[in-house]
Structure 1
Amino acid sequence: MAKRKVHRRAKQILGAEPSALVWCSIPRAIPKPPKDVHRAAGKGRLTGRHHWIVYVGAVVFCAVIIPLYLIDMLGKQIDRLFAGRLRSSKPSRRTETTAGDRGPGDGIFDGDWNLAAGQLMLRWFSQSPSPRRLVLLDRDRICVAASPRRRLAATRADDFQIVAEFRADEACIEAELGQPRGFAAFRIRFADGSWLELGDLAEPEDGDHFLRTAVAET
C-alpha cells in the first residue's frame, strides 16, 4: 500500500485527501501516431528514457556480440561450401494478424489521436520519462500525476506533480470489480467519447480500493 508520505503529498497538492489513488501505466507500447498529428502535438517522446546501463549494453552488443556472431556465421558458410552441403532455404510459415485482432488504438485507446485520450497519450512521456502515473480520485475530478524520475518505487514516490486534471463533466472512470490481480485495468472515458485504458496497477490494496471507489461513484 502507498506510504503515508504519498498520501501526504496527494493531500498537499489536491487540498484534500483523495478518495482513492493508484499508480498505473498504459499496459502496452504507445502505437505510432500519424506524422502530422505527432508534429502538431510537438513531436514529444512516445517511449520512456532508458537507464544508462541499457545504452552501455547496446554498445557492447554492437561492438562485441554482433562481430563474433558474423564471424561464426561466416565460418559455418565456409564449412558448408567445402563440404558441398548447402541447404536450400525453405519458405517459413507466417502468421498473419488482421486488423480485427485489435482495434485501431491497439486496444489501449479508441484510436482517434485528435480526441482527448489520443492527445493525452501524445503528451505522456513529455510529462515524465517514466511510464508510471498516479491517478487520484478527488470528489468531482480525476487528477493524473507524474514523478520527474525515470525509475520510481510506486509506494514511496512523493515528488509527483499534477500533469492533467479533468472535471466530472469532462471524464469519468469505467471499472469492474472482481478482476484478477496482476491483470486488473480501468478506463478513463472522456466527454468526447474517447477512452484510454490503464493497467499494471501497483499494490493490490490500492488497486482494489481504487476500483471499488470508482464503481461506487459511477
Structure 2
Amino acid sequence: MAKRAVRRRARKVLGEDPVAVVWCEVAKPIPVPPKDVHRAAGNGRLKSRHHWLLYVMGTLFFFVVVPLMLIDKATRLLEPRRTPRRSRSSSTSRGSRDTPSRDGDEPGGGIFDGDWNLAAGQALLRWYGHSPSPKRLVMLTRDRVCVAASPRRRLSPTKADDFRIVAEYPSAEVRVEGEAGRPRGFATFRLRFADGSWLEVGRLAEPDDADHFLRVIEG
C-alpha cells in the first residue's frame, strides 16, 4: 500500500482514512478545446511543464544537430545523382500512405466524452492548472471521490506528502468505473459524472495501490 507519508497526508486532507488511493495521469495529450471555451475556463495550461533539462537538450539539438543535418544534406546534393528504378508497387504503397488515419475520429481523443461544457470537459480544462505535474492522486472514501495534486513539477508517488485536494465530488455525482481483467500496466479507470460525461485516466503508479484500487472499484 501507499507509503506512510502519503497515507498520513491523505488522512489529514480527507479527515478520515481513505478506502483506496492511486496516483494516475491523463494518459494522452489533451485535445485542443474551442477558444471561447478555453477562455471561459481561464486559459489554463493544457500540458505539463517540461523539466529544464528538456529545454537544454532542445537548444543543443537546434544549434548542434540541425547544422550537422544540413551539412549532410548539402553533401548528398553535391554527389552525382542516380536515377532510381521505379518500383511496380510504388503506386500501391503510396496509396496506402495517403490513406488518412482514423485515430483522431474518436470524440475527445479517447480520454473524455468530447463535450467541453460538461463536468468531465471542465475538469480536463483545469487539469494542469492545479499543478505542472501530470500526476494526480485519486482518493476514495465511503461517500466521496477526491482528486489531489502536488505543487511540484516532479514527485515521487511513494514520498509525496505535500499534495492538496483540488476537486471533491460526492459519490452521488461521480462514479469510478474500471475494466476487469486488464494487465496492470495497461489498466485505466473512468470518472463518470452525473451529467453523463466521463474522463479516463491511466498510468497507475505503485503496483499495490493500483491493484487495491482496481479491486475496490470493480468489486
In the alignment, structure 1 residue 85 sits paired with structure 2 residue 99: no
Unaligned segments of structure 1, at least 5 residues: none
1:119 correspondence with 2:89: no
How far does residue 94 in structure 1 lie from its aligned partner after superposition? 2.8
Give the C-alpha shift of residue 205 in structure 1.
1.2
- Show the counterpart of 1:179: 182
Partner of 2:214: 211
- The alignment partner of 2:216 has SS state of helix
Query: Are positions 1:97 and 2:101 aligned together?
Result: yes
TM-score normalised over the length of structure 2: 0.91
Mapping for residues 1-218 of structure 1, pairs under 5 Å: 1-79=1-79, 83-85=80-82, 92=94, 93-98=97-102, 102-216=105-219
> In structure 2, what is the Cα distance between the partners aligned to 1:183 and 1:20?
19
What's the CA shift for 1:177? 2.9
Query: Alignment RMSD, CA only?
Result: 1.8
Distance 1:61 1:3, change over 3 A: same
Shift of residue 208, structure 1, vs aligned partner:
1.3
Q: Which amino acid aligns with 1:42?
A: G
Q: Which runs of 5+ in 2 are unaligned?
A: none
Q: Structure 1 runs of 4+ off > 6 angstroms?
A: 88-91
Q: 1:98 to 1:84 in 2, by over 3 A?
A: closer
What code does the residue aligned with 2:210 have? G
Count of residues in Structure 1 that have an aligned counterpart in Structure 2: 212
Partner-residue secondary structure (3-state), 1:136:
strand
Calculate percent identity across the aligned residue pairs.
59
| Comparing 15-24 and 35-44, the one that deviates more | 35-44
2 CA distance for matches of 1:88 and 1:147?
A: 59
**Paired amino acid for 1:203:** E
SS state at 1:144 partner: strand
Q: In the superposition, relative to structure 1, how do residues 69 and 111 fare at CA in structure 2: closer, same or farther (>3 Å)?
A: same
Please give the TM-score of this superposition, normalised by the length of structure 1. 0.91
The Cα of 1:95 is off from its aligned counterpart by 4.0
